[in-house]
Structures are given as structure tokens and as C-alpha cells.
A and B are shown apart, each in its own frame.
Chain A
Amino acid sequence: MRIGIVCPYAWDVPGGVQVHIRDLAETLIERGHEVSVLTPVDDPGELPAYAVDGGRPRAIPYNGSIVRLTLGVKATARVRRWIRDGNFDVLHVHEPLAPSLGGLACWAARGPIVATVHSSVERSRVLATGYYLAQTVLEKVSAIIAVSENARRTIVDHVGADAVLIPNGVRVNRFAEAAPLRDWGVPTVLFLGRLDERRKGLTVLLEAFPLLRERVPGVQLILVGPGDPDEVLADVEPDLRQHIICLGRVDDVEKARALASADIYVAPHTGGESFGIVLLEAMAAGTPVVASDLDAFERVLDDGRCGVTFPVGDHEALARAVGDLLADPERRSSLSDMGRARVRRYDWASVSEDVLHVYESVITGQQKVEEDLRGQIVGRLARRGRGVAP
């Protein structure tokens, strides 16, 4: 099958959607399909062989914040050329409601189009984006996939369309086979995510840390993720500070190895998470999870059976949960086993199969993805310019 995938955000900026697309594309290629990914990128040299440069993103104020988008005449021309040359059986657009390359691709193409919605948005934001615009974009889409129940609800409630739930995938083997970074020699708790992003909940963990040190002397904290440690840890007392190790931003391999080296992974997020891919990564690495009881996390942890949850923002409960678990190696190993079993269903090997079912359900055999010139004066002129009868 020839599959064209459109990535909405810059390839060389870390983000969940980009990782999703990379893993999906690579899994599909491993399965013998031909995949081309069109993506904005700052440095085209960074692109893997299967990706095509969709232009450099520009910073544009949108919806109260600065977002980096690829729009404009040039981008439109690139999208059209990519669709023309691609001869795709199916076009897979990500985040079609964001004003980006994905939306452009929907406008420029017709035929079997699949769209994946990643984020859940508030109604007001959907309306701000332009209800009419969203409607006309989604009308061309033959099938919508949502990666989480919250994302699905966004589509069903706000746009009125149906969406198939296919959860995010994890490349399980990558994490399961990772060798521990090192033997720390002391009980080790790991945090993953931007240090300075409030909703990742590092502050909750830092509040819990002194209490935890009282319960489990010798325990240390490892922080993995971008952000300035000096700024974030400014209020931490010096004798506690020396038990906190910052690894900074790491690549996927290092991340897997760091997870494998920790006794417990803590996800103290305070909200805004629609899925919780990191939890799955920890489970794939066999690291027991302690997480705040967000809906998305409860679901991933099978209603709390495959991990320990605590009330969102409650640092005392967090310290208690981590302390109890560190004192109970048997429970840790049973959680590890259950996590490894649970995460199988989220392996890209099986998730990609569900995605392929969706592709095959919209492909009819005769009709391929082609350029849509209907109602576009510029497009019609361009076609005439190329010497094809209008």
C-alpha cells in the first residue's frame, strides 16, 4: 500500500505527535508498505529517508499563544506537488483541526483520506478555529481516528462526527530490551518530562521528596527532561539537592535505559494529559508506576490495577505511595510483570494493524488520492498552465 502521512508540527521539535508519526511510519515500513511523510522542518538534513520537507515553520500568534506553523502559498504548492507525485492509496492527516499542513492537505486532496485527532480541545477553541472551516475540512475525511477517549469526545461533541478509538502505540521491544543506564546502588525514583512545565507536576514531587526521604533514607530522585534545573530546584534545600540528579534532555535510547535503571517511575501530572504514553513506556521497561489519578492514567493502568495512583496534587499521598512501594519488592515485581503484560496491547505491532484496518476500510481499489482542483481558481489556472485540459 502507498501511504502518505502529513505531520502538522516541525519534525525536529520533540513532541508526542511527531513521535507517534515516526513510530507509525517506521512500523508500516517494516510491514512492507511504502510510506512518505510530509512534515515541516527547520533543518531538512535531520529528516529520515521516508520524510519529505514540507517547509520551514514560522511563528504565528494563534489562540493566545505563539505557535509555529507552515502556511502560505509556498507551503500549499509543496503540499499539492507532494500529493500529485505521491500517487497514494490513502492519505493520513494528523491533527486536522490545527491550522497547519494537515488542513492544507485536506483542502488540496480528494480520495481516501484518514485523519487522526490527538488532542482534546475545549469547545470555545474549536469555535475560535472556525466551526465552518473545521466542518468543511472534516467533510472530506473518510475516517477519523482518535487516540484517546477525550480526543474522541471532542470530535463527537463538538463537530458531531464519529471517530474510531485507536490508542497510541509504544515500541515495546525498544524499552523492554534496554540495558539499565547504571546500577545506582540506592533506591531510585524517576521523573520524566519538561521540568518547568507546571502540568507535568514536578513541584508536587519536589514537595513530596523531603517526606519521602524521612520514610526511605538514601532514596534519590532522577529528573529526565529539558528545562533549567537551577531554576526549578532553586527552593530545594542543599542537603536534599545533592540527592537529585538531573540528566537533562535525552534521546529515546537513553530514556529507555534511564527508565530501566529506576525502581519506580512517578507521573505526578496535574492535568492536561489525554493519554499517558510515558506510563506505557515505563511499563514496557518493567518499571513500576506511581501516577496521579487522572482519568487518562487510570485507564492506561487498567483502573489502577497495573500501577499505584494517588490523588492529583497530593504530595503527602505521593510520598506515602512511593515509600510503601519501595519497601515492598514483591509488589514491585508483580506490578512490573502486570505492566509488561498490559503494555502488549499498546505495542505498535498490534496498533498498526488497527490503523491498517481503517486504511483498508476506506480504500476502494480503484480510486487513489489525487489533487482536488474543484472550486479553486488558482488551482484551475495552474492546471491549465501545465497543459492539461481543464
Chain B
Amino acid sequence: MNGWWWLALGLLFVLLLALYLSMTAGRLDRLHRRIDSAETALDLQLLRRSALALDLASTGVFDPATTVVLADSAHAARAAQDDERGSRGLAESNLTRVLAEALPDREDVDELRDDPEAAQMLEELRGTCVRVQLSRRFLNDGVRACRQVRKQRFVRWFRLAGRTPWPETVEMDDTPPPGLAPH
């Protein structure tokens, strides 16, 4: 009789464990999904930013030196695309610095706005820079939440994360250019 009780208790334990593991696996799956879409979103915003930088360089509102450097860094940021993340971060940070140089303060930017085409691009660029910052912030927050779950003992013992690689934050300088700061 006693043996049956132990068996029942053991079964109950296994059942609870299975339930817990399946719920946690579901959580992890949601978190990975969230990170995936956050990465896509950040990618989208970064691509839009470099495209706008290229367009802006091609309008000819900048002096020749700035035009060349801006176009070059925008190209580099787009080329770094399929590369390792570290190098892309560097290229995007570099573009951030060049944009800051090209659009150093509001007075300069107001002058550039005399060109209607450039004015529209600058407006779009302003929004895009804000969204790049937000997207990266949301991505890194998702990575933080995911890591928290993946560090749990049961998750590691039972390999609940499967073969999904350990999530990495994206580090880069994404400060919007001072000339495009909100009024």
C-alpha cells in the first residue's frame, strides 16, 4: 500500500515538473520570437537611416568633403549588413558620428532646410534616428528578459532553449545628430 502512495506522489511530481517545463518552454519561445521581431525592426530602421543618409548626400546640399564622407560611411553601414554583429555596430556607430559632424547644430540644419527636398529628408531622418534608438532599446530589453529565463537552473538542465543561440545585446552609438534634436 505504502508503495502505491509513493508511486502516486512520484507521478504527481513528474506531472507538475512536466507542466512547469512546458510553460517555461512556451515563455522562452515567446521571448525568442520577441527578440527576432525586435531584430527585424532594428534592422529596418537602420537600413532606412543609411538610405536616407545616402539620399541626403546625393542632394548636394553639403560641401564636397562632407558629401564624400557621408556617402562612404552610409555605404559602409549598408555593406556591413550580413557581417558579424560587432562590425555592423562599428559601422553604424561610425555613421552616427559622421551624421553628427554633418548636422552639428540647429542653425546649420535650418540652412539646409532651404532646399525643399533636403528638408523632407531631414524630417524623415529625424524620426528615423529616434526610432533607431527606441528599437535598439526594445531589443536589448527583450534580450535581458530572455537571458533572465535562460539562466534558470531547470532551463539549463533540460536544455529548454534548444539550439537557439545565447541572445546578445546590440551595442552601438545611436545618439541622434545634435542638429536634429527636438525643439
Contacts and interface: CB of A to CB of B under 8 A. Distances in A.
Interface of A: 110-112, 136, 138-140, 142-144, 160-162, 164, 357-358, 360-367, 374-375
A364 B26 CA distance: 22
Given A162-B137, A357-B131, A364 B29 contact: no
A363 B26 contact: no
Contact of B134 (A138, A140, A361, A366): A361
**Majority secondary structure of chain B interface residues (helix, strand, loop or mixed):** helix
A363 B140 CA distance: 16
A365 B47 CA distance: 13
Contacts of B23: 375
Nearest to A163: B141
B137 to A, nearest CB: 6
A374 B26 contact: yes
A290 B125 CA distance: 41
Given A139-B34, A142-B34, A364 B40 contact: yes
Contacts of B135: 361-362
A339 B82 CA distance: 51
Contacts of A367: 37, 40
A139 B135 CA distance: 16
Contacts of A358: 134
Nearest to B38: A142
Interface residues of B, number: 28
Contact of B30 (A110, A143, A364, A366): A110
20 contacts: A111-B37, A138-B145, A139-B34, A140-B30, A142-B34, A143-B134, A144-B141, A160-B145, A161-B145, A162-B137, A162-B138, A162-B141, A162-B144, A164-B134, A357-B131, A361-B131, A364-B37, A364-B41, A367-B37, A374-B26
A361 B41 contact: yes
Contacts of A138: 145
A142 B134 contact: no
Interface string B133-149: 01101101110110010
Interface of B: 22-23, 26-27, 29-31, 33-34, 37-38, 40-41, 44-45, 127, 130-131, 134-135, 137-138, 140-142, 144-145, 148
A357 B127 contact: yes
A374 B30 CA distance: 9
B44 A364 contact: yes
A375 B134 CA distance: 31
A356 to B, nearest CB: 9
Nearest to B133: A361
Contacts of B131: 357, 360-361
A235 to B, nearest CB: 49
Contacts of B134: 143, 164, 357-358, 361
A142 B30 contact: no
A139 B142 CA distance: 8
A357 B137 CA distance: 13
Nearest to A365: B44
A112 B41 CA distance: 10
A113 to B, nearest CB: 9
